[in-house]
Structure 1
């Protein structure tokens, strides 16, 4: 590595495993490495490498700042935002980067510290000062960040939709009020992600006389959840199907097979779920609770307060013909994706200096 080239240090989760935050960090690393004028150094703070290697990587990530502090080299630092105790580690990185005079970007992938004040996030904002750049996933996420942490001065929006390919025309017919309608729910199947509410929504439609089915996809997390799902499959017969874990072609087939994606998640760390974006990319309307930044992603009448009856909202939308048309859902995704691609390009330019 040349001592005269600008260095961009990337500290964030990297695949494996693949999830929204690691995919974003990996894409950022790839975009930075396309720039010939910089060198990229990565520190994986994810949990894929095992605890001993992870701790060594974290310690090494801090030690690499020491020579730069002495030399006062103006490099750049990109942090793929973490959650929990790792935020304290990232607060130390932000402080060292500021002392070294580096341009520093914190890319938020968590919403838990937006619903309540978290001292670790407050430390990141304070240590970073007015020069710390915050990248959020939606305008509302940015507003909430600045309302809770007044020192977050500079905020840029970059949706996870920029990770995906553009929407393809589907030619889907509108869902008829009397059915048939196929609901879908794809996730790690847990109570926090709302698998029980998805099943109850199917029951509510059937009780109301709607010709409906539900397709569940993803692994059950916890013996109690698997027992819940298998009992419901036995109870509801051909109306409920559980596909288990899917590979990429099977995910594509899943979205092509459904008419409405239901995502009743109440998971506290939810940010901008890729599964909801993927539904829109396939022209599938979605109904969800307003966790993370989903309030900015979906039509207002498709966003259901956590303490409200999501099943009733789905029933009313289906019966009243109020579901978002397929073409509108796809266009909504493409608009978000186009803005995200531009935002990521501008972010790379700033980091490259």
Structure 2
């Protein structure tokens, strides 16, 4: 006897703490439950956003309990395993789950959230793809990401589904306001050096001129105490910038409604398709960002500015900011294009997700 094909075992990080992969995993769980699938969650999330080695090793007890749970569950043959894989050494844990799933004759769906192993071939990732098997379905966040996975690792079945699809519920409530004047520059995310918070502060310092009216607004949780201390020290010399705390739900919508451009100078090597970029464009907020991961596929020249990761961020961002200040009609055009780009991407991704979800919960080819 086997369980119905509609049973899905989900392995990966779930909130808290809140970050991109955990948010997407939670959204997928919600979609599957809404489709009457029976969902079993094996949460391997660390206790905090801290990326130190000791913090990452702290996941091990959860991983071991998860493996024991998967090994001890009866009648898994033919049911689905959905796993959100890590970008670095955490793939060692993911590899163990995949090998066990193959042993239990489960159908495998691997969701990739990182570009870290798509710049060049990595041995651990190659082992992970082989362990998943030729019949596994790999889910990426863009066509470019899918192409790299096929080229570097020979993945046979790859589906590109943008994270934009998981913002459908909030986008129905989002207030899209066309920007006519550049007044407030925003930063939202987990506040950390690798997410570019200090590049944002450097940009606001460069824009602080006598008579200038530009303001900066920062929202999100601090990654650690050391980062919070450094940021608050910098803010003492930047009266034109305020920290407004972590924002979720309606408060996050209000944050986006109150800014005129999102600044996202991410230095994170694993960056793929950050949700915050989609959240900005769905509100009609143009984006200035480093072009890491899928960002150049999301932020087109019509709806923002993508800066090559090897270039200094502040000088290039200043050029775009000054261009929008001199010609507000260009800012307005970018705002309209951002909202339209998000809506188009979301429609396309929703169609692809419906087909993929049918495979996950029903075993459809």
State the match for 1:296 in structure 2. Answer: 297
State the match for 1:29 in structure 2. Answer: 29
Tell me whether 1:270 sits opposite 2:305 in the alignment.
Answer: no
What is the Cα deviation at residue 343 of structure 1? 2.0
What is the Cα deviation at residue 206 of structure 1? 3.2
8 Å contact kept, 1:65–1:97: no
8 Å contact kept, 2:161–2:353: yes
| From 334, 357, 364, the counterpart of 1:325 | 334
* CA distance in structure 1 between the aligned counterparts of 2:233 and 2:185, rounded to whole angstroms: 18
- Number of aligned pairs? 341
8 Å contact kept, 1:216–1:244: yes
* CA distance in structure 1 between the aligned counterparts of 2:8 and 2:271, rounded to whole angstroms: 28
- Tell me the alpha carbon deviations over residues 293-319 of structure 1, each in whole angstroms, 9 at most, x when there is no partner: 111110146110122132222322233
* CA distance in structure 2 between the aligned counterparts of 1:152 and 1:309, rounded to whole angstroms: 35
What is the Cα deviation at residue 283 of structure 1? 0.8
Tell me whether 1:166 sits opposite 2:171 in the alignment.
Answer: yes
* CA distance in structure 1 between the aligned counterparts of 2:235 and 2:18, rounded to whole angstroms: 29
What is the Cα deviation at residue 220 of structure 1? 3.4
Aligned pairs for 1:1-353 (under 5 A) are: 3=2, 5-6=4-5, 7-36=7-36, 39-47=38-46, 54-64=62-72, 68=76, 73-149=77-153, 151-164=154-167, 165-166=170-171, 168=174, 170-175=176-181, 181-207=183-209, 211-237=213-239, 239-300=240-301, 302-321=305-324, 322-323=330-331, 325-351=334-360, 352-353=362-363
Q: Secondary structure at the match of 1:206?
A: coil
Q: 318-327 vs 78-87, which deviates more? A: 318-327
Pair 1:248–1:111, CA change in 2 (3 A): same
What is the Cα deviation at residue 278 of structure 1? 0.9
* CA distance in structure 2 between the aligned counterparts of 1:234 and 1:34, rounded to whole angstroms: 47
8 Å contact kept, 1:79–1:107: yes
Q: 165-174 vs 312-321, which deviates more? A: 165-174
What TM-score, normalized to structure 1?
Answer: 0.86
Q: 300-309 vs 190-199, which deviates more? A: 300-309
Q: Secondary structure at the match of 1:235?
A: coil
* CA distance in structure 2 between the aligned counterparts of 1:22 and 1:132, rounded to whole angstroms: 22
* CA distance in structure 2 between the aligned counterparts of 1:42 and 1:170, rounded to whole angstroms: 35
Q: Secondary structure at the match of 2:139?
A: strand
